[in-house]
Amino acid sequence: MNARQIAYRAFAWGGALLFAAALAYFLFSYSVTFGEITAGDTPGGSVLRTIAIDIALFSAFALHHSIFARIPVRAAIRRIVPVQLERSVYVWVASLMLIGTCYWWQAVPGVAWHTPRPWSWAMLVVQVAGIWLTLRSAAVIDGLELAGVRHLVGRGRPFRLRQGYGETSPKREARRRAGRPDMEFKTVGPYGWVRHPIYLGWILVVFALGTMTMTRLVFAVVSSIYLLVAIPFEERTLRAQSEAYADYMQRVPRKLIPGLY
């Protein structure tokens, strides 16, 4: 292994560690800091101004995700950084922005609801189910891939559905030159129920709370609205990148809620 490969791996694994730290910091913030019940005037002034600041914070984080998903932006990044580090660059930026969003999130006074026992226990069960769904979905598509290190440590499980399957070599080569490499769309586990199970898990985690402070509610509503708005744009990009995604949409017709949507 030469010096360049060592540097690439160090950068990628550093991003993976930061990714894990950002998720841990979010869970701590949402469960502890955002759960503090505040009353009276908000530190930043009016409630509407505080909510506007929170919306701006999450919008900046969400906009980064949407911009990085666009094909022209990804092509531009590949011209700046080595292709092996494209995912790692995204992970570094996204992790730092998530930490910043949670750190600067403004407290909103009040409580939206407080669920007494035993119903609060039922809410906890739903939240745990959301955590399981998120982790299980991430495992299906490979956690190391999400963290940006899989391509540096070896290939994961074989593709179940691969873009270019059955195509002639010239077609696959043309797609590679156009920046549209082979992609996989698994239909195992939660990805056989809905096309975006991680998003469903997120919504369950942020809403299934016995005590929903207004600080939590603003975060839950803003983040969930972003996911609902982002889904059609994300799927449009995936269809543009891979003809196989249209086949996946036929196999799994529901986007977010099994049997409904």
pLDDT in tens, 242-254: 888 988 999 999 9
Structure-token pair, residue 114: 């407080």
pLDDT at 130: 95
pLDDT at 187: 83
pLDDT at 219: 98
pLDDT at 113: 94
CA distance 80 to 256: 35
Average pLDDT across the chain, whole number: 84
Q: Flag whether 150 is in a domain.
A: yes
pLDDT at 95: 95
Q: Flag whether 257 is in a domain.
A: no
Q: Flag whether 259 is in a domain.
A: no
Q: Flag whether 260 is in a domain.
A: no
pLDDT at 154: 61
For residues 138-164, average pLDDT = 63
Structure-token pair, residue 55: 């919306």
Whether 204 contacts 133, CB under 8 Å: yes
CA angle 20, 21, 23 (to 5 degrees): 65
pLDDT at 159: 34
pLDDT at 85: 86
- Does residue 182 surpass a pLDDT of 60? no
CB burial class (10 A; 0-12, 13-18, 19+) of residue 253?
exposed
pLDDT at 42: 54
Q: Flag whether 193 is in a domain.
A: yes
Q: How far is CA 172 from the centre of its chain?
A: 29
230 compared with 148, residue with greater pLDDT: 230
219 compared with 90, residue with greater pLDDT: 219
Q: State the pLDDT confidence band at 203, using cuts at 50, 70 and 90.
A: very high
Beta bridge partners of 111: 213
Total number of domains constituting the chain: 1
Q: Flag whether 256 is in a domain.
A: no
For residues 125-131, average pLDDT = 95
Question: Phi and psi (nearest 5°) for 109?
Answer: -70, 150
Q: Flag whether 261 is in a domain.
A: no
The residue assigned the tokens 């195992």 is 188
pLDDT at 167: 36
For residues 2-8, average pLDDT = 85
pLDDT at 114: 93
Q: Flag whether 99 is in a domain.
A: yes
Per the structure, the complete domain to which residue 175 belongs is given by: 3-251
Select from 147, 173, 148, 172 the least CA-distant residue to 162: 172
CA angle 178, 19, 24 (to 5 degrees): 150
46 compared with 66, residue with greater pLDDT: 46
pTM to 2 decimal places: 0.82
- Does residue 177 surpass a pLDDT of 80? no
